[in-house]
């Protein structure tokens, strides 16, 4: 495969993120060669990614690799790859529930899954975690139609709803075995309902939890504290040395202000998310339902029903979670999680990677944020 041949690619918005979607067969099978190609396609490393498809932010520097699944429980396999913006790095250490929203429509459009007459459900094995998701979306007349009247916070306008259901997973909801830990001197709840997240009361770090993401990113003292907590949390959560990893994420919690259950400011893990990730929100919602967690006294959970409205800087994300809090002897489990997203095909064609012979231009200071890994 050479740069001049181009590579078949579909650019899609998935939820509040944007990424390049590929059939696995259109990329090199060798992960090293694949990642090298993806860096050249996305334009990394470069704070502006001006020579590639990436948008200069972790949320627009994402890749989905999709193929038919060998697993009888799934129709397709989805591997999510986060392409760092200003470093020559591609990681599969995290999943992405926003990019997941585009996988079903992509799989139908590319002929991996037959479309139903009115709607189609696609069973997706998420290779990053081994977990399953089922995405259901309209296919009137047997064709994907991204238009519709579903609005999601953080995306202008409306589009067709993609309903995503996550059945019970295998991993522990509380990776440390505790509902509360003291990490780097701060009380936290470490939770993983598809995304490892450290929940921290915003007040414990001198924040209100209602700040603008940009203001939080400029707070150097806060950044140092978050880094310290994240490194230690990574170790106690069994993730090892997370210095260069994009997980765990950190969500600061504050009481809701818009009728939801909680307000969040989420670090992914250095940049502050303009909204919140899907699985990130799923982990927050599950964590709030655990008696004794740090969300107690902050969150206002609805008396009935499974829906938890997670407020964020640009609105809210509703997550349905059915949590069994367990007993002293049995650990808590999430029986089911569901969210509504939208997705849209933006472009389909051939992408022409930067030539492999050209040495990447060294990353320049971006005049503000250091965008390491997916930060």
Q: Does 226 bind ligand NQM (CB under 6 A)?
A: no
Q: Which is nearer to ligand NQM, 169 or 353 (CB)?
A: 169
Min CB(232)–ligand NQM separation in Å: 20
Rounded to a whole number of angstroms, the minimum distance from the CB of residue 29 to ligand NQM is 26
The Cα 356–Cα 9 span in angstroms is 18
- From the CB of 329, what's the least distance to ligand NQM, in Å? 31
Q: Which is nearer to ligand NQM, 115 or 285 (CB)?
A: 285
Site map 301..340 versus ligand NQM, x via CB under 6 A = ----------------------------------------
Separation between Cα atoms, residue 275 and residue 314, nearest integer Å: 6
Residue 139 vs 337, nearer CB to ligand NQM: 337
> With CB under 6 A as the contact rule, which of the stretches 91-99, 232-240, 316-324, 360-368 interacts with ligand NQM?
91-99
**Which member of 13, 110, 230, 249 binds ligand NQM (CB under 6 A)?**
249
**Please, what is the minimum distance in Å from the beta carbon of residue 277 to ligand NQM?**
2
For ligand NQM, which is the closer residue by CB, 63 or 115?
63
Query: Closer to ligand NQM at the Cβ: 280 or 353?
Result: 280
Size of the site for ligand NQM (CB under 6 A): 16
Residues 160-199 that bind ligand NQM (CB under 6 A): 195
Least separation in angstroms between CB 355 and ligand NQM: 29
Contact between 97 and ligand NQM by CB under 6 A: the answer reads yes
Give the nearer residue to ligand NQM in terms of CB position, either 115 or 124.
124
SS3 string of the chain? CCHHHCEEEEEEEECCEEEEEEEHHHCCCCHHHHHHHHHHHHCCCCCCCCCCCCCCCHHHCEEEEEEECCCCCCCEEEEEEEECCCCCCEECCCCCHHHHHHHHHHHHHCCCCCCCCCEEEEEEEECCCCEEEEEEEECHHHCCCCCCCECCCCCCCCECEEEEEEECCCCCCCCCCCCCEEECCEEEEEEECCCEEEEEEHHHHCCCCCCCHHHHHCCHHHHHHHHHHHHHHHHHCCCCCCCCCCCCEEEEEECCCCCCCEEEEEECCCCECCCCCHHHHHHHHHHHCCCCCCCCCCCCCCCCCCEEEEEECCEEEEEEEEEECCCCCCCCEEEEEEEEEEEEEEEEEEECCCCCCCCCCCCCCCCCCCCCCCC
| CA–CA dist 41, 3 (Å, integer) | 9
Q: Is 250 in contact with 270 (CB distance < 8 Å)?
A: no
Q: How far is the CB of 356 from ligand NQM (least distance, A)?
A: 28
Q: Is residue 96 part of the contact set for ligand NQM (CB under 6 A)?
A: yes
The residues in 265-304 that bind ligand NQM, with binding defined as CB under 6 A, are 268, 277-280
Which region, left, alpha or beta, applies to residue 239 given φ > 0 means left and ψ of -120 to 50 means alpha?
A: alpha
β-bridge mates for residue 180, sequence order: none
CB of 314 to ligand NQM, least distance (A): 11
Candidates 10, 17, 60, 193: give the one binding ligand NQM (CB under 6 A). Answer: 17
Residue 352 CB, nearest approach to ligand NQM (Å): 25
User: Which of these segments, 90-98, 173-181, 331-339, 343-351, binds ligand NQM (CB under 6 A)?
Assistant: 90-98
- Return the residues of window 34-73 that contact ligand NQM according to CB under 6 A: 58-59
From 20-28, 94-102, 103-111, 314-322, span contacting ligand NQM (CB under 6 A) = 94-102
Instruction: Tell which one of 98, 263, 337, 342 touches ligand NQM (CB under 6 A).
Output: 98
Would you tell me how many other CB atoms lie within 10 Å of the CB of residue 220? Answer: 8
Interface positions with ligand NQM (CB under 6 A): 16-17, 58-59, 96-98, 195, 246, 249, 268, 277-280, 374
């Amino acid at each position: 495969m050479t740069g001049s041949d181009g590579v078949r690619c579909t650019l899609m918005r998935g939820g509040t993120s944007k990424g390049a979607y590929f059939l696995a067969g259109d990329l090199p099978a060798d992960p090293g060669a694949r990642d090298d190609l993806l860096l050249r396609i996305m334009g990394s490393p470069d704070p502006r990614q001006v020579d590639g498809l990436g948008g200069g932010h972790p949320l627009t520097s994402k890749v989905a690799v999709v193929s038919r699944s060998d697993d009888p429980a799934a129709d397709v396999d989805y591997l999510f790859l986060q392409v760092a913006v200003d470093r020559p790095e591609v990681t599969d250490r995290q999943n992405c529930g926003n990019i997941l929203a585009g996988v079903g429509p992509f799989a139908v459009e590319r002929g991996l899954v037959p479309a139903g007459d009115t709607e189609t459900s696609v069973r997706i094995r998420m290779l990053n975690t081994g977990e399953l998701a089922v995405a259901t979306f309209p296919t009137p007349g047997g064709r994907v139609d991204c238009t519709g009247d579903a609005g999601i916070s953080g995306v202008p306008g409306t589009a067709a709803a993609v309903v995503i259901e996550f059945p019970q997973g295998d991993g522990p909801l509380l990776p440390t075995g505790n509902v509360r830990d003291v990490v780097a001197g701060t009380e936290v709840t470490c939770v993983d309902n598809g995304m490892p997240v450290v929940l921290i009361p915003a007040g414990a770090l001198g924040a209100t939890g209602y700040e603008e993401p940009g203001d939080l990113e400029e707070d150097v003292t806060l950044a140092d504290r978050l880094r310290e907590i994240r490194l230690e949390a990574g170790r106690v959560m069994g993730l090892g040395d997370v210095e260069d990893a994009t997980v765990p994420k950190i969500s600061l919690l504050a009481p809701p202000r818009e009728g939801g259950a909680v307000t969040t400011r989420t670090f992914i893990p250095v940049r502050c998310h303009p909204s919140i990730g899907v699985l990130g929100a799923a982990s927050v919602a599950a964590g709030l339902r655990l008696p004794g967690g740090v969300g107690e006294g902050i969150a206002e959970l609805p008396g009935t029903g499974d829906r938890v409205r997670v407020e964020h800087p640009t609105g809210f994300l509703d997550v349905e979670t059915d949590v069994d809090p367990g007993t002293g002897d049995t650990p808590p489990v999430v029986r089911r999680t569901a969210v509504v997203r939208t997705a849209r095909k933006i472009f389909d064609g051939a992408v022409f990677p930067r030539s492999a012979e050209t040495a990447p231009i060294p990353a320049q200071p971006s005049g503000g944020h250091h965008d390491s890994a997916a930060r």
